[in-house]
Amino acid sequence: MLLCVWAAVSFGACFFARDLERLPLPGWGGSLGYWMASQGAVLVFIAIVVLYACVLNRADRRSAQPPTELRVGTD
């Protein structure tokens, strides 16, 4: 799911960058297309990674199994 957001933000936004360019971004000065590629996408990437870490770390804790003890099946 988060991977879909990732793909949409990076590839989708850049594919349509020329069209997004016409929309102004109030309060910043440049166009939405440029902002998206130079800052918006990076901020979304951070949000994705942070969200993923929070959700999975909580799930790990809830399963009450200290994750370091999970060993790989065969050695």
Q: Which residues bind other proteins (CB under 8 A)?
A: 2-3, 6, 10-11, 14-15, 17-18, 20-21, 25, 28-31, 33-35, 37-39, 41-43, 45-46, 48-50, 52-53, 56-57, 60-61, 63, 65-68, 70-75
CB-based contact 20:13 (threshold 8 Å): yes
The distance of closest approach from Cβ of residue 33 to other proteins in the complex, given in angstroms and rounded to an integer, is: 5
Give 6: exposed, middle or buried? Use CB within 10 Å, 0-12, 13-18, 19+.
Answer: middle
The distance of closest approach from Cβ of residue 75 to other proteins in the complex, given in angstroms and rounded to an integer, is: 8
